[in-house]
Every structure is written in C-alpha cells, then in structure tokens.
Amino acid sequence: MSTMENHVSDSKWFNVQSVPQSHAFSIEDRPGNDPIPACKTIPIIDLANLKTSERIDTLQQIIKAGEEFGFFQVINHGLPNDVMNGAMEVLKELFDMPAGEVCKEADTDGWVYMGSTSHDINGVHLWRDNIKHQCHPLELCMQFWPQKPSRYREVVASYIVEIRTLSSRILELICEGLGLEKGHLEAMSQVQFLTASNYPPCPNPGLTLGLLKHVDHSLITILFQGDTEGLQVLKDGHWIGVDLVPEAFVVNIGSQIEIISNGKLKSAEHRVVTNPNSARTTIATFINPLPHCIIEPAKCLVNESNPPLYNSMSFQEFVDASKAFGPHTDALQNGVFHFLKK
C-alpha cells in the first residue's frame, strides 16, 4: 500500500484503508467499537393533526421530548419531497467536486468550506467535509452561495424557504406548550445559516468522529439526515443513536431555548460517528435569535418558587463571548453557556 493510498487530503477520501494519526481522537473522545443501536424511544411527532383535538397531545409530546431528550423528530411536516431530495442531491454533487475547485470558489465568494484537514480540534481532524453559509436575509445571502453546481442557489433557496415555514410552526408549538405568549419565539428568530456535511466511509469508526460532542447554541436546529445513521445523543451519561426515520426531520433544542424555558427544556450534547460502509450527507439549518434579542428566562415562567436560573444577555453578546473560548465545542458548552447560570 502506497503512502498516497492511505492519505486523507481535503475532500479526497479515495482508497483510505486505515485511519491516519491526524484523524484519530484521544481515548476520552473517540467512540470506541462497542455497538450503540439506534434508539426507538426518541419521540416522533406527527404534525398532520394540529387543528384537531389531538393538538394538545402533540404539544405535550414536544415538551416531554424537550425535557427528556432535547431531541425529537417530525413527520408529516409539509416539506415537499422534491424540495428535500433536490437539496440533498445538489449538496452531494458539490461534495463530489474536486477539492481545489470548491476551495477556490469558497475563497472568492466568502462562504466557508472545511475539507478533511481544515478543521482542527486539539490537533485532530474531523472525518468529514463541510460547507457553511449564511441564509438571512435570504435574497442578499444567496448571491454569495456556491455557483457550482449551477442549480445550487435556486434549489437550496427553495429548501430554506420551506425550512423557515417549518421552523415557525415548531417554535409556535413550543411557545404554546410552554405557555408563552403567541409569537414569542417566532418574533426573535431567523434561519441564520445552513451547514451541510459529508461523512465518507471510515475503515475504523471507533477511532475517529464526524463531529465531536457539543451542544447547539441555537433556538432550534433542524436536521435532514438523509438515508444513513450517525447522529448520537447523550442521555443520562450514555450515548444513544438517533433512529433513521424516512423523510423526517430531526429537531434539536438549542441552548437559547433552554435558557428561555428556564431549564425546563434541555439542550443535549450530541456527536456524529462514522460508518465503515456508507457515506453520509446531512443538511442542518440553525434557527437562531436575532442578534439584538435579549436571551433570558421568560418572565411568565419564573416566580419566587421558580427563580430565574440564567442571567440576561443579548444573542450577539453570547456569540461574542463564545469566541473567547475558542473553537473546541466543549469549551462553549462548559464556558459561555454556564457563564449565564446564576
């Protein structure tokens, strides 16, 4: 076996027969080889019957999922299959492009591309390729999105429009379930950015990770995980796999809603493991507060017997503070987020 055959270069994972040291995480961080089966108990929420007598039950399911898991999945969500599948297809096309071509355009247009040796966490690289770009305001941002594949902007813009509609519905259901004023979360939210990842097949998934454990500092994150499993959630000190539900979206409670709910809903740590046989492409959209919004426990949820657990801070101040803790996601979780706690 030649050196080239075992080399992982930016977006080039051809014929990688073992995990290079550059991609092998420490024993504390690596997932190991013990199997973690997909969990069948993470709630699957049906959004088809929200105008019927089942609405109250749906609200209770969402709140319970946020309390117990910090995650749930939604089906019958209203996104057309052609929009979902079109976005997935065009992103797979982008990841199949030569790395040099992708990097050249990213450097020119300002969207972010991270190949397999671009993201360094304590000297170790993630087993993934990744792109990230802003989505708000959509009409302005899409002018700076990838120009290749040629249909990328049109297809992904259609996807973002539909995600915005879905995120509004989910935020309103969370509002109603928590007893917040109608529109409380929707008024402060925007689909701030999209990040898509390609996780190539890995010869030894026990050594490396597609994404290190972290929490999302969003209101909610909406993930389309395609047709391959890999997402894991930390619950009660143990990792559980997120089941693959066809045509569903995974919804992740972000730290901002944990703060607003005064700790009632949880933002769970999660990670991405790799697969020895199949590549995995995912699309995550982050629904964040507007920069000037003050993030604090909702006043209707606090009283003398249930005092606020977090201090107030604008979302922009939160983002700025998080940068001081560096790129390691654990630092964000253990740093700025807990800095807010009283």
Q: If you search the block for the tokens 């979902």, which residue do you land on?
A: 84
Residues 6+ apart with CB under 8 A from 26: 122, 124
Sheet of strand 211-214, all strands in order from the earlier edge strand to the far edge: 38-39, 238-242, 231-235, 270-272, 211-214
Residue 118 confidence (pLDDT): 61
Strand extents, DSSP E, 120-263: 120-121, 124-125, 129-134, 189-199, 211-214, 220-224, 231-235, 238-242, 249-253
Specify the DSSP element, H or E, that contains 295: strand 294-295
| CATH code, 193 | 2.60.120.330
Q: Which of 76, 71, 79 is nearest to 47 (CA)?
A: 76
Helices 152-178 and 55-68 pack at an angle, to 10 degrees, of: 100
Question: pLDDT-derived band of residue 249, with 50, 70 and 90 as boundaries?
Answer: very high
Question: To the nearest 10°, the Cα dihedral for 256, 260, 266, 267?
Answer: 0
Q: Is the pLDDT of residue 161 over 70?
A: yes
Residue 278 lies in a domain: yes
Residue 165 near residue 80 (C-beta atoms within 8 A): no
Return the percent helix, strand and coil in the chain, to nearest 5: 35, 25, 45
Question: pLDDT-derived band of residue 203, with 50, 70 and 90 as boundaries?
Answer: very high
Question: pLDDT-derived band of residue 11, with 50, 70 and 90 as boundaries?
Answer: very low
Tell me what the pLDDT averaged over the chain comes to.
88
Specify the DSSP element, H or E, that contains 85: helix 81-96
Residue 5 lies in a domain: no
Question: pLDDT-derived band of residue 226, with 50, 70 and 90 as boundaries?
Answer: very high
Residue 31 confidence (pLDDT): 94
Distance CA 67, CA 266 (A): 6
Residue 54 confidence (pLDDT): 85
Q: Is the pLDDT of residue 334 over 60?
A: no
Residue 1 lies in a domain: no
Domain region containing 41: 22-339
Residue 199 near residue 115 (C-beta atoms within 8 A): no
Q: Which residues does residue 121 pair with via DSSP β-bridges, in sequence order?
A: 124
Strands 44-46 and 71-75: parallel
Who wins on pLDDT, 221 or 330?
A: 221
- Percent of the chain at pLDDT > 70 equals 87
- Whether omega before 137 lies within 30 degrees of 0, making that bond cis, reads yes
Distance CA 196, CA 278 (A): 17
Residue 7 lies in a domain: no
CA angle 315, 321, 325 (to 5 degrees): 135
Residue 198 lies in a domain: yes
Residue 118 lies in a domain: yes
Residue 17 lies in a domain: no
First to last CA, the chain: 57
Each residue's pLDDT tens digit, 82-135: 999 999 999 999 999 887 788 777 766 667 777 665 666 778 889 999 999 999
Residue 155 lies in a domain: yes
Please state the domain count of the chain: 1
Distance CA 143, CA 239 (A): 40
Each residue's pLDDT tens digit, 254-298: 999 999 999 999 999 999 999 998 899 999 999 999 999 999 999
Q: What are phi and psi of 262, to 5 degrees?
A: 55, 40
Across the range 125-150, mean pLDDT stands at 93
